[in-house]
Amino acid sequence: MKIVMLDYKTLNVGDLSFEELKALGDVELYENTDIENENEIIERIGDAKAIIVNKTPISKNVIERCKNLKYIGLCSTGYNNIDIEAANERGISVRNCPDYSTYAVSQFTIGLLLEICHNTYRHTQSVMSGDWIDAEDFCYWKYPVIELYGKTMGIIGFGDIGKNTGRIAKSLGMNVIATGSRPTKEGMDIGRYVPLDKLLRESDVIALHCPLNRDTERIINRETISKMKDGVILLNTARGGLIDEEDFRDALNSGKIYAAGIDTIAEEPMREDNVLLGAKNLLITPHIAWSSVDTRKRLLKMVVDNLNAYMKGESINEVK
């Protein structure tokens, strides 16, 4: 079977092996494919029966023109870059990789929060520049230090990553509330399920862990921000499209949102005219929450296992 991997570079920067994937068929590997060039996408897929993608968009037109295509494997949990309806109409199996990054992403989310609360890097810079040498007292702080004990963490999207973030927040003495489509006993053991408006009103910290879809696109906007506490902290390690970036910037600059830590933006890589550049009290990292070598090994194994299961006629991780 011919297998084409259209954008492997972020998954494997040279520290992983594709040998198990190559054992499943005739594999063509591309570091990157131009996401703006649909003709290149179609040409590279050619007569392949199976493709594996991360962020490369697979539109209805691509699906219709690649007549031999039977399988789309994702190197991600999210699948908003695939026209699922068109794939289903053609009987193409689409399979994602849920849960591979649960621990890494929740760890990163809390890491952003702790940096906001302690300003560790800024204080290190201050010490290295000699400020402690010149200090009159045994300690000083240039930025506020925030204690999280007793504060409320609101989590929008209470799947596996959201729950794990909730567990860590709870271990810090925070009260956890969440909104999610399917309340579970596991979730109720971690925190309380509440309506979105209540979560917005009561949370001191809000973490986004929901998928990007029609219901959640720009869920953080001028209207929802107005319902939040003054001085709220916002964290986003999910999808950049969950946030209206202009409204978000305005809220940061006005102080309505005290600070934020985000790992994703709406258009990646960032453009030089992105409205968030220069926003106050904002930590931005380049979509790396998922990127530990342990996480990427786990992801590659799931990619291989999904395709192997398809070849055996088994149904796992299918997206409908």
Whole-angstrom CA distances from 56 to 1, 32, 44, 292 are: 21, 8, 12, 21
SS3 call for 80 = coil
**Which residue blocks in the chain are alpha helix, DSSP H?**
19-22, 38-45, 60-65, 84-89, 102-118, 120-128, 160-171, 185-190, 196-202, 222-226, 245-254, 293-311
Residues 6+ positions from 22 with CB-CB distance below 8 Å: none
C-alpha dihedral sign at 209, 212, 214, 218:
positive
Give the span between the Cα atoms of 82 and 52, in whole angstroms.
11
55-to-1, 119, 122, 142 alpha-carbon distances in Å:
23, 33, 34, 41
Q: Which residues on neighbouring strands pair with residue 208, listed in sequence order?
A: 156, 236
Q: Which residues contact 19 (CB under 8 A, 6 or more apart)?
A: none
- Judge contact between 220 and 199, C-beta under 8 A: no
Rounded distance between C-alpha atoms, residue 129 and residue 145, angstroms: 20
Active site residues: 239, 268, 287
Residues 6+ apart with CB under 8 A from 114: 120
Give CA separation, 5 vs 17, 21, 60, 316, in Å. 14, 10, 19, 20
- Using CB atoms within 10 Å of the CB of residue 206, give its burial: 0 to 12 exposed, 13 to 18 middle, 19+ buried: buried
C-alpha 178/C-alpha 160 separation (Å) is: 12
